[in-house]
Amino acid sequence: MENLRLLIPEIVLSAMALLLMLAELFIPRRHSRILLHLALLASAAALGTLGLAASNPAVYQGAGSLWVVDPMSLFFKVIVLAATILVLMLAVDARRDDDAHLGSFAGLILLASAGMMLLVSAVDLLMVFLSLELISISSFILVGFERGDIKSAEGALKYYLIGAFSSALMVFGISLFYGATGTTHLLKPVPQFGYASSALFLLSTLMMLAGFGFKISMAPFHLWVPDAYEAAPTPITTFLSIAPKAAGLAMMLRVFTKLIPHPALEMTALFSFLAMLTMTVGNLTAIRQNNIKRLLAYSSIAQAGYMLIGFVTADAFGREGVLLYALAYLFMNAGAFAVAIAIGNEEGYELEAYDGLAQRSLGLAVVMAFFLLSLAGIPPLAGFVGKFYLFGAAVQSGFYGLAVVAVLNSVVSVYYYMRVTYHMFFLPPRATAPAQMGLYLYSGLALAAVAVILIGVYPEPFLSVVKSSAEMIP
Amino acid sequence: MIKHVHWIALLPLIASVVILLGSRDNTEKSRLPLLGVAVMGWCLLHSLLILAGVLSGRAEVPFYRTLPWFEFGGFEMTLGVLIDGTAAFMLVVVTLVSFLVQVYSLGYMHADPRFKRYFAYLSFFSASMLGLVISSNLMALFACWELVGVSSYLLIGFWFEGDAPAYAGKKAFITTKLGDLGFFVGLLLLFAYAQTFDLKMLPLHFQMGPGHMPAWVPTAVGVLLLCGAAGKSAQVPLFVWLPDAMEGPTPVSALIHAATMVAAGVYLVARTYFIYQAAPMALEAVAWVGLITAALAATMAVAAYDIKRVLAFSTVSQLGFMMLGLGVGGYTSGLFHLTTHGCFKALLFLCAGSVIHAVHTNDMRQMGGLSKKMPETFITMLIGAFAIAGFPFLSGWFSKEAILHDVYRFSPAMWCAALATAALTAFYMFRLVFLTFLGISRDHPRWEHAGESPPVMTVPLWILAALSIFAGLALEHNGIFAGAVCFGPAAAAEGAEAVAHAPNWLAWGAVGAFALGLAAAWRLYGTGDLSLASSLKRSLAGVFDILEDRYGFDRFFLALVRASDSLAAALYWFDSNIIDAIFVDGWALATRALAEVQRFFDDFFVDGAVDGVGALTRDGGLGLSRLMAGKVQEYLLFVALAVSLFATFIMTR
């Protein structure tokens, strides 16, 4: 009970989640948007308490037996909460079939983000597993939230089946870990490197990697991504493409670069291969997509591949790169999806809907171009700074091949990001009316655009945050 | 004056945003484009003052000023300006051509429905290009480099109503991006070994000698940066985008694809010349890339009929000359050619634009005899042709001479090839002029319709024509250019000495090449009788096919794109068929099979057993049921008792 205060943000979120599910019953349907506002409020409050933790490290940071609150976990909690807030803002203005069950909708989002916040703090494999399941189960429901839509159901089912499969693998891995070391506590197995050679330990690590890989959409565990992303309501797609990925990456950073570092297990080549595979598969498959959600889904796979570079180097430089990229990725991906929502509300998600957007809503087309160029890593936008940091880390540590493959991949990615730009700028518009946007969508978009440009043009403040956040307590 | 040099890049940026978002009126009635023109005029003035300061020695060069930008892996990254003689000249070239092109565009684009947006893009381009020129840091230079690419993409595809411009824009962007791949990796490598991108600090790292970094690093960095330069400056094999880029509005071709952006690659090599000094092999690679490009492009220009494409190939060829100059150690001569080329190539493009504006076609086979209809355009274009072909004492002659000198010192064999290319230059340029302006009109309705362009278009032509005539002479006089633009004082002294020792007949070689090209062009195209030309074309059909095929480079890149496309298709198919089949359908299948097996098991064993047991139980149960009275509560009681018993047994074991 002594250090329960370390959990205040998670408690705030969970309490609000439960409250929302109850409140749904009492709030008339025409006022149900108030539930989303409540969820926004709770996320903001949680973000505030995180600020408290960051400003008062002596009291609000520390290690429990199952979780730790340290600069890195705080950083990723901020990312998760920022993603949650952005997504809730988008959800307010996204088109829905009906407003029933908005309480469960918002509540599940909050529960999932509480799970992610626990995940980034977890130092015990049971805690890891529980928080992963909390995220997964909430996401399964959220993906299938549009119950009238058969595609939604299919995507959710697929997501569920593969998710269940990887959970099973992971829990098997955890049991093997327990068999090999006699504990599930990651800080405990002090003579950890003694286990490194044992086949059992390696097998367990591999199985856990599969479980994490599923969450961050690492190839070859990425197969659920396009279908689930396409099926889910678009704000949920936004959410899934950012928050669980960031949280999973944070968890993996903790486990594979610090607690059981993969160089000690001689698994660096494997990680390097997985990074290359992930970015290549994501980019090449994205070329063929004609649906913006699927395109961004594959692109998000590729982005995860770039971030995996930071794991390969497994040093402070690479770790900072992952943090910085996660920050940039949060804004550019959320921004791209926000535009997708603004267009998709009226005209659907095929690329043809973007024809001549520059003629209809110039501002929207320009910010979308910013987000896409940033995702492609064109300077001077946020994505470039992140990519440069990551690729620089790879070269610094002597992984030249990996760096070349990564740069080559970012060239390939230009090809499909530019396809969207091509539709926006170089095709005649099919409608003349400017795209309609609600206030929340508009402000979310503006926030993301400003952040993408600011991080790209003046990264210093963000870099200093990233540098101080790349520390872990144990 | 030089203290405020950063405003030269910032003001056009602000102007472009204001123009883009300033008003909803998109047509020529909008006054906002005039803002862009005014800002560019101010920039031109500012650049001229800076150049005057540099040349007169009042301004101290190199002028270097930075701000801390961000910290990267423990190393300070700065944002700043570095102005030396090269940058000062480059600033003037860029602002001059930008300004004249913007003025010219007021006339050329007057009826365009996206008039305002065009000027916003132009200002944006100028801002990024000027940023590229003044930047003191390779990272910021790379950022501007990419922005230049983006604006070029937008401007090539500006008339997107047709399919070709949008396609050309994409092609340009992707091809140059392929070169940027090298640039980016080169930067990463540079950072790994030098830990800075500052152009003032970097030379120190490369002068420290072999102990400081492995010997292969300068060579690798040099070659990688050359890749980026080859993409932007349209060198072999990445030149394929430039002929297609001619789909953009002609003033854009003059500004971006002739005078400024395509020179960025040459400028990059010049700015990082210290790397090439440390890596002779990379420098020689620059020379060979330049020579091959110059020669191949010149031959391709001979076979082209699109007036703008001839000029595009000519641009590629001249850029090759600049690279060749830099590569053989002629830092000054390469950049001198860049400066003069900026003037006469912009002139030629704007003349071509004036012609196209009048006859509404690009095809020279439909022109002819236009000298009577548009005398001003004819005379200015003739001046441009004389300048580029190397007529003595025009600006192109001086710079080409200087390059040829340096090439001769490096290798007489390369000099021969370069001289042949110079002859070809004269030939295709006069072929263009003769086909367009002399002889009889080959498409009479178009000829009837044609007329001289308005003064807003011809005045820029005259200004550029004057510069094409006099710039070379003025800059060569007293070695003004060589004094301001040189790589290190030692190199300058050596260069002057070498020029003094070069054989005198060299200069006549270039004049001879010019005369030969002119004579051949006159014989084939000048007299109005094209029968010899067409019979020559028939007998050399095979050669012409290869030239029109651009030596197959286009097909090579298309095949590359197609290969990656089919790889993507294969991956997608794999993803959506195999994986789906295995994971989802397979799962379903497996579950169903399992269910079948289970059902079979259920039917034959379980059910059978249940039935059998049931029968048995029924018979036996009759007896037992009497014992248990058949109450649910009692069943549960028995179960509870049994569980407690088991538990007790286990616990007390």
Residue A445 one-letter amino acid: L
Nearest to A378 among B68, B150, B166 (CB): B150
Output the furthest CA–CA distance in chain A (Å, rounded).
68
**pLDDT tens figures, B117-145:** 899 999 999 999 999 999 998 989 999 99
Q: Are B195 and B286 in contact (CB under 8 A)?
A: no
Task: Determine the Cα angle at B246 with ends B240 and B248, to 5°.
Answer: 130
CB neighbours of A12 closer than 8 A, spacing ≥ 6? A42, A45, A46, A49
Q: Collect all residues of chain A within an 8 Å Cβ-Cβ radius of residue B169.
A: 422, 426
- Structure confidence at residue B453 (pLDDT): 84
Confidence band of A193 (pLDDT split at 50, 70, 90): low
Confidence band of B507 (pLDDT split at 50, 70, 90): confident
CB atoms B192 and A395 under 8 Å = yes
Confidence band of A262 (pLDDT split at 50, 70, 90): confident
Confidence band of B627 (pLDDT split at 50, 70, 90): very low
CB atoms B174 and A384 under 8 Å = no
- Structure confidence at residue A228 (pLDDT): 87
Residue that wins the pLDDT comparison between B306 and B611: B306
Mean pLDDT of all residues in B543-571: 80
From B338, B372, B197, B163, select the one nearest B275 (Cα to Cα).
B197
Residue that wins the pLDDT comparison between A252 and B589: A252
- The bridge status of strand A68-69 relative to strand B75-83 is unpaired
CB atoms A391 and B21 under 8 Å = no
Q: Collect all residues of chain A within an 8 Å Cβ-Cβ radius of residue B157.
A: 422, 425-426
Measured between CB atoms, does A52 come within 8 Å of chain B?
no
- Structure confidence at residue B610 (pLDDT): 54
Q: Compute φ and ψ for B64, nearest 5 degrees.
A: -135, 125
**pLDDT tens figures, A320-330:** 999 999 999 99
Residue that wins the pLDDT comparison between A81 and B600: A81
- Structure confidence at residue A16 (pLDDT): 94
Q: Collect all residues of chain A within an 8 Å Cβ-Cβ radius of residue B170.
A: 418, 422
Nearest to B178 among A223, A411, A464 (CB): A411
- Structure confidence at residue B633 (pLDDT): 45
Sign of the Cα pseudo-torsion (B514, B519, B520, B525, in order): positive
Q: Collect all residues of chain A within an 8 Å Cβ-Cβ radius of residue B159.
A: none
Report how far residue B34's alpha carbon sits from residue B36's, in angstroms, rounded to the nearest whole number.
5
Here the tokens at position A407 are 């740069």
Residue B313 one-letter amino acid: F
- Structure confidence at residue B646 (pLDDT): 47
Residue that wins the pLDDT comparison between B637 and B475: B475
Q: Compute φ and ψ for B393, nearest 5 degrees.
A: 70, 0
Query: Residue A189, Cβ neighbours under 10 Å: how many?
Result: 19
CB atoms B177 and A380 under 8 Å = no
* Chain A nearest-CA residue for B187: A392
Mutation target among B20, B70, B79 for the A interface, most CBs of A within 10 A: B70
Alpha helices in B486-552 (DSSP H): 488-501, 505-521, 531-539, 541-548
CB atoms B184 and A460 under 8 Å = no
* Chain B nearest-CA residue for A157: B584
Residue B631 confidence (pLDDT) above 50: no
Measured between CB atoms, does A317 come within 8 Å of chain B?
yes
Residue B623 confidence (pLDDT) above 50: no
Residue B81 confidence (pLDDT) above 80: yes
Here the tokens at position B321 are 């000359």
> Chain A, 333-362: which have a CB under 8 Å from a chain B CB?
362
- Structure confidence at residue A452 (pLDDT): 95
Q: Are B91 and B129 in contact (CB under 8 A)?
A: no
- Structure confidence at residue B30 (pLDDT): 74
**pLDDT tens figures, A225-237:** 888 888 899 999 9
Mutation target among A169, A221, A288 for the B interface, most CBs of B within 10 A: A288
Q: What is the SS3 assignment for B363? A: strand
Inter-helix orientation angle B163-194/B138-156, to 10°: 170
**pLDDT tens figures, B146-198:** 999 999 998 998 888 878 888 888 888 888 888 898 999 999 888 888 888 88
- Structure confidence at residue B618 (pLDDT): 53
Residue that wins the pLDDT comparison between A206 and B1: A206
Question: CA B537 from chain center: how many Å?
Answer: 33
Here the tokens at position A351 are 């690329």
Mean pLDDT of all residues in B583-593: 65
Confidence band of B66 (pLDDT split at 50, 70, 90): confident
Query: What's the gap in Å between the CA of B396 and the closest CA on chain A?
Result: 36
Query: What's the gap in Å between the CA of B453 and the closest CA on chain A?
Result: 29
Report how far residue B400's alpha carbon sits from residue B406's, in angstroms, rounded to the nearest whole number.
10
Look at the block and give the residue holding tokens 């829905």: A96
CB neighbours of B279 closer than 8 A, spacing ≥ 6? B218, B219, B221, B222
Q: H helices then E strands: how many in chain B?
A: 29, 2
Residue B609 confidence (pLDDT) above 70: no
What is the pLDDT of chain A when averaged over all its residues?
87
CB atoms A161 and B180 under 8 Å = no
Query: What's the gap in Å between the CA of B310 and the closest CA on chain A?
Result: 26
* Chain A nearest-CA residue for B142: A379
CB neighbours of B11 closer than 8 A, spacing ≥ 6? B39, B42, B43, B127
Report how far residue A314's alpha carbon sits from residue B26's, in angstroms, rounded to the nearest whole number.
53
CB neighbours of A345 closer than 8 A, spacing ≥ 6? A93, A94, A95, A436
Which one of A116-120, B193-197, B409-413, B589-593 scores highest in mean pLDDT?
Answer: A116-120
> Chain A, 153-212: which have a CB under 8 Å from a chain B CB?
158, 161-162
Mean pLDDT of all residues in B413-434: 92
The strand pairing partners of B83, in sequence order, are B63
Report how far residue A162's alpha carbon sits from residue A178's, in angstroms, rounded to the nearest whole number.
24
Nearest to B160 among A396, A427, A464 (CB): A427
For chain B, percent of residues with pLDDT exceeding 70? 84
Residue that wins the pLDDT comparison between A97 and B252: B252
From A455, A474, A465, select the one nearest A54 (Cα to Cα).
A465
**pLDDT tens figures, B212-239:** 788 888 999 999 999 999 999 999 888 8
Classify the phi-psi angles of B439: left when phi > 0, otherwise alpha if psi is within -120 to 50, otherwise beta.
left
Report how far residue A410's alpha carbon sits from residue A302's, in angstroms, rounded to the nearest whole number.
9
- Structure confidence at residue B50 (pLDDT): 93
Report how far residue B28's alpha carbon sits from residue B405's, in angstroms, rounded to the nearest whole number.
49
Q: Collect all residues of chain B within an 8 Å Cβ-Cβ radius of residue A403.
A: 185, 188
CB atoms B583 and A363 under 8 Å = no
Residue B53 confidence (pLDDT) above 50: yes
Q: Are A342 and A254 in contact (CB under 8 A)?
A: no
* Chain B nearest-CA residue for A423: B166
Report how far residue B266's alpha carbon sits from residue B286's, in angstroms, rounded to the nearest whole number.
10
By mean pLDDT, which of A238-242, B54-58, B151-155, B460-464 is the weakest? B54-58
CB crowding B289-303: b at 16 or more within 10 Å, else e: bbbbbbbbbbbbbbb
Q: Collect all residues of chain B within an 8 Å Cβ-Cβ radius of residue A374.
A: none
Sign of the Cα pseudo-torsion (B624, B625, B627, B632, in order): positive
Nearest to A287 among B68, B173, B565 (CB): B565
- Structure confidence at residue A264 (pLDDT): 73
Measured between CB atoms, does A396 come within 8 Å of chain B?
yes
Query: What's the gap in Å between the CA of A147 and the closest CA on chain B?
Result: 20
* Chain B nearest-CA residue for A407: B181
In this structure, the dihedral spanned by the alpha carbons of residues B71, B75, B80 and B81, taken in order and rounded to 10 degrees, is: -160
What is the pLDDT of chain B when averaged over all its residues?
83
- Structure confidence at residue B310 (pLDDT): 93
Residue B601 confidence (pLDDT) above 70: no
Mean pLDDT of all residues in A61-88: 89
Q: What is the SS3 assignment for B71? A: strand
Residue A414: in which H helix or E strand, if any? Answer: helix A400-426
Report how far residue B644's alpha carbon sits from residue B137's, in angstroms, rounded to the nearest whole number.
81
Q: Are A49 and A297 in contact (CB under 8 A)?
A: no
The strand pairing partners of A122, in sequence order, are A67
Please give the interface size between A and B, counted as residue pairs whose CB atoms are below 8 Å apart. 120
Mutation target among B184, B213, B247 for the A interface, most CBs of A within 10 A: B184
Which one of B109-113, B223-227, B300-304 scores highest in mean pLDDT?
Answer: B223-227
From B362, B383, B253, select the one nearest B312 (Cα to Cα).
B253
For chain A, percent of residues with pLDDT exceeding 90? 41
The strand pairing partners of B82, in sequence order, are B64
CB atoms A428 and B161 under 8 Å = yes
Sign of the Cα pseudo-torsion (B300, B301, B302, B307, in order): positive
Model pTM above 0.80? yes
Mean pLDDT of all residues in A293-304: 93
Measured between CB atoms, does A425 come within 8 Å of chain B?
yes
Confidence band of B642 (pLDDT split at 50, 70, 90): very low
**pLDDT tens figures, A366-382:** 999 999 999 999 888 99
Residue A83 confidence (pLDDT) above 70: yes
- Structure confidence at residue B299 (pLDDT): 92
Mean pLDDT of all residues in A148-159: 79
CB atoms A460 and B70 under 8 Å = yes
CB atoms B72 and A317 under 8 Å = no
Q: Collect all residues of chain B within an 8 Å Cβ-Cβ radius of residue A412.
A: 564
Residue B477 confidence (pLDDT) above 70: yes
Does the ipTM exceed 0.90?
A: no
Confidence band of A154 (pLDDT split at 50, 70, 90): confident
Q: Are A362 and A344 in contact (CB under 8 A)?
A: no
Here the tokens at position B178 are 């392929």
Confidence band of B651 (pLDDT split at 50, 70, 90): very low
- Structure confidence at residue B635 (pLDDT): 44
HSE, CB side, 13 Å, CA atoms: give it for residue B610.
Answer: 6
* Chain B nearest-CA residue for A162: B583
Here the tokens at position B581 are 């089949």
Q: Collect all residues of chain A within an 8 Å Cβ-Cβ radius of residue B72.
A: 388-389, 392, 463
Confidence band of A406 (pLDDT split at 50, 70, 90): very high
Query: What's the gap in Å between the CA of B570 and the closest CA on chain A?
Result: 9
Confidence band of A197 (pLDDT split at 50, 70, 90): low
Measured between CB atoms, does A465 come within 8 Å of chain B?
no
By mean pLDDT, which of A58-67, B50-59, B78-87 is the weakest? A58-67
SS3 per-residue string spanning B74-138: CEEEEEEEEECHHHHHHHHHHHHHHHHHHHHHHHHCCCCCCHHHHHHHHHHHHHHHHHHHHECEH
Query: What's the gap in Å between the CA of A264 and the closest CA on chain B?
Result: 24
Query: Residue A147, Cβ neighbours under 10 Å: how many?
Result: 11
Residue B625 confidence (pLDDT) above 60: no
